Chains A and B, each alone.
Chain A
Amino acid sequence: PLGPASSLPPSFLLKCLEQVRKIQAEGEVLQERLCAAHKLCHPEELVLLGHSLGISQAPLGSCFSQALELVNCLRQLHSGLFLYQGLLQALAGISPEVAPTLDWLQLDIADFATNVWQQMEDMRVAPPGHPTQGPMPTFTSAFQRRAGGVLVASNLQRFLEPVYRVLRYLAQT
């Protein structure tokens, strides 16, 4: 059941909405650059490779409006952002055309994760201790890094859509 949405300050929600839009825009640029530079334009063609590389999608079950559990939703949101920080770091050395965009994206996701973590701390619901990164995929070729980039960017966009919806819902209640 929905926790007290009012416990989230409006400025926090407005900033988060802006950060999501910023990351979404950066993610689209990353996808466009991977497509333009390496002709890797369709993540659906790389699903098998994604499984073999172990590129997972971050769970967001607590954030769906019908069964929104605010604290768990914030925790899942932070864990997801933390996962994507790790995945993007694992893509380091992807290619000169894409590297700058990857750097901006990492910084923006790290900013967003910090914002969410500090809000949880302010609400005294932050998990004990700082999160530790789980095993990350190992990319053994330039192709794998670029394909991994397409998959991670696509997963990230699909992760951010429900995040944006729930934030907008919280901002309007």
Chain B
Amino acid sequence: ECGRIRLSDPIIRLGDSVTASCIIGRNCSHLDLESEILWKLESELHPGGRQKRLPDGSQESTITVPHLNYTQAHLSCCLYWGNSLQILDQVELQAGYPPPVPYNLSCFMNLTTNSLICQWEPGPDPYLPTNFTLKSFKNRGKCQTQEEPILDCVPEAGKSHCSIPRKHLQLYQSMGIWVQAENALGTTLSQKLCFDPMDLVKLEPPTLEALNPSPVEAPAQPGCLWLHWEPWKPGLFITQKCELRYQPQLGEASWALVASVPSKTHHHELCGLLPATAYTLQMRCIRSPLPGYWSDWSPSLVLNTTER
């Protein structure tokens, strides 16, 4: 074997120094063992390694790169053979940073997929392959003690979200959850959250429909609109409150809000509007009185008030 490089550490912190030694065996044929061993870092030649003969007759050269500023670089051990520079061995250096602390961890319970979906910010690129894992455990109280670990959730490569399936969840018991980031230079943990999965349920919006009351029930009044909505079916078992917002389609008026629409009846009469005007309406709902997240606003429904 002609050349063998040994490294202090193949992965280092960007800007730190790295030391390498290269040993050229005395049985490397055709070689003049007194040749100077040279080093090449990427394409830059680095003479001046500290070279010495070892007791067994082989030659060893040692080099220290004071500040490695490449995130990836090839370090080659070479010497001149005749007029041509010969590469006898090569290693890959990697440099970067320990993983940054993941932040902005947030989760919500998705009843459509029946899973807990969590997302986070990975932080700046550490230039090294970094694995993120969503770790969690079941717990009775306020997550002070880790009772029953839940299977690690490993996101797809490069993704900063992960989904824990229903079978690993107890919807009405608290669980602790955090993100772990790990690479060759260290491990960091995000802030820990503690919640009941069901308290993070985010409903899908209701569906708004025009309601054409029979003239007997509600004679068409000029400034009024009647609407009906269908709550999101998978969320029917959840008691909710909903809010309605509306604005005239033309002009710059901002949204007006009906804060609490009675949720039992699924229809609502809206009055005090401009006559002969097209209004855009949207509704959203939230689990209540138990905690939850507001749904997105529903698709718009456009209704017209009658002439005076």
A interface, CB within 8 angstroms of B: 11, 14-15, 17-19, 21-22, 24-25, 103-104, 107-108, 110-112, 114-115, 118
Question: B interface, by DSSP: helix, strand, loop or mixed?
Answer: loop
Is the pair B290, A22 in contact by a Cβ cutoff of 8 Å?
A: no
Question: A interface, by DSSP: helix, strand, loop or mixed?
Answer: helix
Is the pair A15, B167 in contact by a Cβ cutoff of 8 Å?
A: no
CA distance A15 to B174 in the complex (A): 13
Is the pair A15, B290 in contact by a Cβ cutoff of 8 Å?
A: yes
Give the residues in chain A near B169, CB-CB below 8 Å.
107
Is the pair A25, B236 in contact by a Cβ cutoff of 8 Å?
A: yes
B interface, CB within 8 angstroms of A: 114, 140, 166-167, 169-173, 198, 236-239, 289-290
Given contacts A14-B289, A15-B290, contact A114 B173 (CB under 8 A): yes
Contact with B167, one of A25, A107, A114 (Cβ below 8 angstroms): A107
- 16 new A-B contacts at CB < 8 Å, known A25-B236, A111-B171: A11-B290, A14-B289, A15-B198, A18-B238, A18-B290, A19-B171, A19-B172, A21-B237, A25-B237, A104-B166, A107-B166, A107-B169, A111-B170, A114-B173, A115-B173, A118-B140
Given contacts A11-B290, A107-B167, A111-B171, contact A18 B237 (CB under 8 A): yes
Residue of A whose beta carbon sits closest to that of B237? A21
State how many angstroms separate the Cβ of A32 from the closest Cβ of chain B: 13
Give the residues in chain A near B290, CB-CB below 8 Å.
11, 14-15, 18
Give the residues in chain B near A15, CB-CB below 8 Å.
172, 198, 290
Given contacts A14-B289, A15-B198, A15-B290, contact A111 B173 (CB under 8 A): yes
State how many angstroms separate the Cβ of A134 from the closest Cβ of chain B: 24
Give the residues in chain B near A17, CB-CB below 8 Å.
239
Give the residues in chain B near A104, CB-CB below 8 Å.
114, 166
State how many angstroms separate the Cβ of B15 from the closest Cβ of chain A: 51
CA distance A107 to B114 in the complex (A): 11
Give the residues in chain A near B236, CB-CB below 8 Å.
21, 25
Residue of B whose beta carbon sits closest to that of A20? B237
CA distance A115 to B171 in the complex (A): 10
Most buried by B among A14, A19, A107: A107
Contact with B170, one of A14, A25, A103, A114 (Cβ below 8 angstroms): A114
Give 20 A-B contacts (CB < 8 Å), ordered by A residue: A11-B290, A15-B172, A15-B290, A17-B239, A18-B198, A18-B238, A19-B172, A21-B236, A21-B237, A21-B238, A22-B237, A104-B166, A110-B170, A111-B171, A111-B172, A114-B170, A114-B173, A115-B172, A115-B173, A118-B173
Most buried by B among A18, A19, A24: A18
Give the residues in chain A near B289, CB-CB below 8 Å.
14
State how many angstroms separate the Cβ of B96 from the closest Cβ of chain A: 42
Give the residues in chain A near B198, CB-CB below 8 Å.
15, 18
